[in-house]
């Protein structure tokens, strides 16, 4: 009897160890998926001065002005590294462009623009989604920067792309077909994979 019970306990231990190994392997793959994707895109992050209706409307005008300047600039970038170099060389000009838009609308808010790594939650856009993770972001902070913010992707140029144009733009920027399938949800495992990436990224950030 004791031998039989010991055998059952051993079997349970083996099953648990296999489950743990599979869980850790899945987590490693999820983190790799998220990292590979974040290494290929540049997000745009615009923070409004406040949540007032006027400040939120101004945020969108500043966003449009930044995109109007940045998208032609990045049109010739072959990958994120080139996109980052182009943006870093134009940060001061982007600030001037944003400041002019703010003044043209009758405000005297200061605005700062910088490129920095930023943690984002899972986010759905029209035609594509991005899993949670740390992404390089072009961040524009208007005034106090205490209002609701606006996120999108400035490279590849997905902010203004129609849903049908997203796959082509993403492939041109160096994303693999499987990564394009992931962000456009053509990959049937997208929801699970995205949640796994978000879980492991949250755990990783907690442990840091």
| d(C-alpha 136, C-alpha 84), whole Å | 9
On the question of pLDDT at 128 being above 50, the answer is: yes
CB count, 10 Å around CB of 171? 14
pLDDT (0 to 100) of residue 176: 63
| d(C-alpha 182, C-alpha 5), whole Å | 46
Inter-residue contact 90 to 73 (CB < 8 Å): yes
Confidence band of 32 (pLDDT split at 50, 70, 90): very low
pLDDT in tens, 39-60: 888 989 999 999 999 999 999 9
Inter-residue contact 129 to 183 (CB < 8 Å): yes
| d(C-alpha 148, C-alpha 197), whole Å | 25
On the question of pLDDT at 62 being above 60, the answer is: yes
Joined tokens for residue 168: 């082509």
On the question of pLDDT at 69 being above 60, the answer is: yes
pLDDT in tens, 164-184: 566 677 667 666 666 666 566
Q: Is the dihedral of CA 174, 179, 185, 191 positive or negative?
A: negative
Where are the alpha helices (H) located in the chain, listed in sequence order?
2-38, 53-74, 80-88, 91-104, 166-172, 177-183, 190-207
More confident residue, 38 or 81: 81
């Amino acid at each position: 009897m004791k031998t039989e019970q010991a055998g059952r306990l051993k079997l349970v231990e083996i099953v648990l160890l296999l489950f743990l190994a599979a869980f850790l392997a899945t987590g490693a793959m999820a983190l790799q998926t998220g990292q590979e994707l974040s290494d290929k895109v540049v997000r745009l992050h615009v923070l409004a001065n406040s949540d007032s209706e006027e400040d939120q409307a101004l945020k969108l005008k500043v966003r449009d002005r930044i995109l109007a300047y940045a998208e032609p600039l990045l049109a010739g970038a072959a990958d994120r590294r080139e996109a980052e170099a182009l943006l870093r060389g134009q940060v001061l000009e982007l600030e001037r462009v944003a400041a002019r838009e703010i003044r043209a609308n009758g405000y005297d808010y200061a605005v700062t623009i910088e490129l920095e790594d930023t943690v984002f939650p899972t986010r759905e856009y029209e035609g594509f989604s991005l899993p949670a993770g740390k992404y390089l972001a072009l961040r524009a902070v208007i005034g106090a920067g205490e209002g609701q913010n606006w996120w999108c992707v400035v490279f590849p140029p997905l902010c203004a792309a129609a849903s049908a144009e997203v796959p082509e733009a993403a492939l041109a920027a160096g994303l693999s077909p499987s990564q394009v399938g992931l962000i456009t949800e053509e990959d049937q495992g997208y929801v699970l994979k995205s949640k796994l990436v978000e879980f492991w990224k949250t755990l990783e950030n907690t442990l840091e």
